[in-house]
Amino acid sequence: MNDKSSTNETNSTDDERWIDAVLGEHARLGKNDDELLLGRIERELQAPARRKRKILWRLAAAACFFLVATTIFWNIRGSGRDSGRLATAESETRGLDTEESLKPGQVKLTTQFPPSVIEGSPRPVHMPQLVPAPKGPPTMAVPKETVLLSKGKPVTSSDDFPIIGDLSMITDGDKDAGEGYFIELLDGLQWVQIDLEQSATIHALWIWHFHSQRRVYNDVIVQVSNDPEFRKGVTTVYNNDYDNSAKMGVGKDHPYIESNYGLLLNAKGVSGRYVRLFSNGNTTNELNHYVEVEVFGVPKP
Ligand SMILES: [Ca+2]
Ligand SMILES: [Ca+2]
């Protein structure tokens, strides 16, 4: 446990009450995923940034027969520095959030989320159609065979020697906010490229650029191809370059505020071996950063 949590001010009585409430609800629903639930509770209560906040839990029972886990939605309110922003941000799931949206053979995609740790004062962000940070974990429906394809896979970049960090940190599974968890690339338009080492049907991408400050990255463009040079057979699955400053065409997607929930993209089953992600500085500085990129899909036989 690091020094940030040594002055833990969480009201333990409230914590215990919440845990009791959650476990009671859990038992009432007759679900069989105690380890998942307890792990989740433990992570929340140990997260340093949560120490001054109340954690409100709400359980929702998964209605579909093929879902075995209870989905836990949670929200945070209280006296944290970013809590006002979280409380006022509109819900933005960038995906599906209702059980009715699931078709047979689909499951809700989820991932491990790092704790929210906001440092410093946010700079005002003025952009058209800016998407606020999600209030809760985003999710979307994917085929039940979907797996994480990118863990530990090799990463290359237009800037092969990052100013901070190593490119391998983009696929190492660590998503924390602080020093030692993000890489910093040169200014201007830069890309990173993940080699999945085999062609796959890609259903989703989850992207964390930098989440210890409320900021927006410019010209976020995501492409998939079987060509490592991206000269042919390129599919653009996301582009929020609304003013074509990257000169790759105007994108229809909207700039978004970074958070610990990352950006969840629906890749709609595009097929390819390589994923290339562009950015062009951010609203705080001209540099480019990544904490983690996850690619989810089904390997081709
Ligand atoms: Ca990482
Ligand atoms: Ca732009």
Q: Are residues 146 and 291 in the same domain?
A: yes
Q: Which of 34, 56, 80 is the last residue of a domain?
A: 80
Higher pLDDT, 86 or 138: 138
Q: Distance, CA 174 to ligand 1 centroid (Å)?
A: 4
Q: Are residues 154 and 268 in the same domain?
A: yes
Q: Give the confidence band of 111 by pLDDT, cuts at 50, 70, 90.
A: very high
Q: 189 vs 63, 132, 158, 165, 253, CA distance in Å?
A: 44, 23, 9, 18, 18
Q: Are residues 160 and 295 in the same domain?
A: yes
Residue 134 counted as domain residue:
no
pLDDT in tens, 142-152: 999 999 999 99
Q: Which ligand is nearest to the CA of 181?
A: 1
**100 Cβ neighbours under 8 A, 6+ residues apart:** none
> Which two three-digit tokens encode residue 26?
């859990």
Which CATH number does the domain housing residue 273 bear? 2.60.120.260
Q: Are residues 162 and 295 in the same domain?
A: yes
Regarding pTM above 0.75, the answer is: no
Q: Give the confidence band of 293 by pLDDT, cuts at 50, 70, 90.
A: very high
Q: Which amino acid is at 3?
A: D
Q: Which amino acid is at 295?
A: V
Least confident of 116-130, 169-183, 214-228: 116-130
Q: Please give the tally of structural domains in the chain.
A: 2
Residue 49 counted as domain residue:
yes
Residue 45 counted as domain residue:
yes
Q: Distance, CA 214 to ligand 2 centroid (Å)?
A: 18
Q: Which ligand is nearest to the CA of 168?
A: 1
Q: Are residues 153 and 292 in the same domain?
A: yes
Q: Which of 40, 60, 80 is the last residue of a domain?
A: 80
Mean per-residue pLDDT of the chain: 78
Q: Are residues 180 and 279 in the same domain?
A: yes
Section 167-173 average pLDDT: 97
Euclidean distance between CA atoms 214 and 253, whole angstroms? 19
Q: Which ligand is nearest to the CA of 217?
A: 2
Q: Distance, CA 119 to ligand 1 centroid (Å)?
A: 19
Closest CA to 132 of 23, 221, 224, 257: 257
Q: Which ligand is nearest to the CA of 292?
A: 1
The owner of tokens 């237009």 is: 158
Euclidean distance between CA atoms 65 and 68, whole angstroms? 8
Q: Is the dihedral of CA 60, 269, 293, 92 positive or negative?
A: negative
Q: 40 vs 9, 10, 70, 271, CA distance in Å?
A: 20, 17, 12, 33
Section 36-58 average pLDDT: 48
Q: Distance, CA 250 to ligand 2 centroid (Å)?
A: 8
Residue 289 counted as domain residue:
yes
Q: Which of 80, 103, 132 is the last residue of a domain?
A: 80
Q: Which ligand is nearest to the CA of 247?
A: 2
pLDDT of 160 strictly over 80: yes
Kindly state the percentage of the chain with pLDDT values over 90.
59
Residue 227 counted as domain residue:
yes
Q: 152 vs 25, 62, 294, CA distance in Å?
A: 37, 31, 10
Q: Are residues 66 and 148 in the same domain?
A: no
Higher pLDDT, 120 or 270: 270
Q: Which ligand is nearest to the CA of 254?
A: 2
Q: Are residues 60 and 181 in the same domain?
A: no
Q: Are residues 45 and 146 in the same domain?
A: no
Closest CA to 220 of 201, 194, 195, 248: 248
Q: Which ligand is nearest to the CA of 281?
A: 2
Q: 197 vs 98, 149, 242, 266, 299, CA distance in Å?
A: 34, 9, 32, 21, 10
Q: Distance, CA 79 to ligand 1 centroid (Å)?
A: 29
The boundaries of the domain holding residue 48 are 3-80
Contact 257, 215 (CB under 8 A): yes
Residue 241 counted as domain residue:
yes
Q: Distance, CA 173 to ligand 1 centroid (Å)?
A: 5
pLDDT of 196 strictly over 70: yes
Q: Distance, CA 78 to ligand 2 centroid (Å)?
A: 35
Query: CA geometry: angle at 207 spanning 289 and 35, to 5°?
Result: 125
Euclidean distance between CA atoms 63 and 185, whole angstroms? 44
Contact 74, 59 (CB under 8 A): no
pLDDT of residue 266: 97
Residue 31 counted as domain residue:
yes
Residue 29 counted as domain residue:
yes
Q: Are residues 155 and 286 in the same domain?
A: yes
Contact 50, 44 (CB under 8 A): yes
Q: Which amino acid is at 251?
A: G
Q: What's the helix, strand, coil split of the chain in %, to 5?
A: 15, 30, 50
Q: Distance, CA 243 to ligand 2 centroid (Å)?
A: 5
Q: Are residues 47 and 155 in the same domain?
A: no
Section 64-82 average pLDDT: 29
pLDDT of residue 44: 56
Q: Distance, CA 244 to ligand 2 centroid (Å)?
A: 5
Q: Are residues 172 and 72 in the same domain?
A: no
pLDDT of 80 strictly over 50: no
Euclidean distance between CA atoms 211 and 220, whole angstroms? 15
pLDDT of residue 16: 60
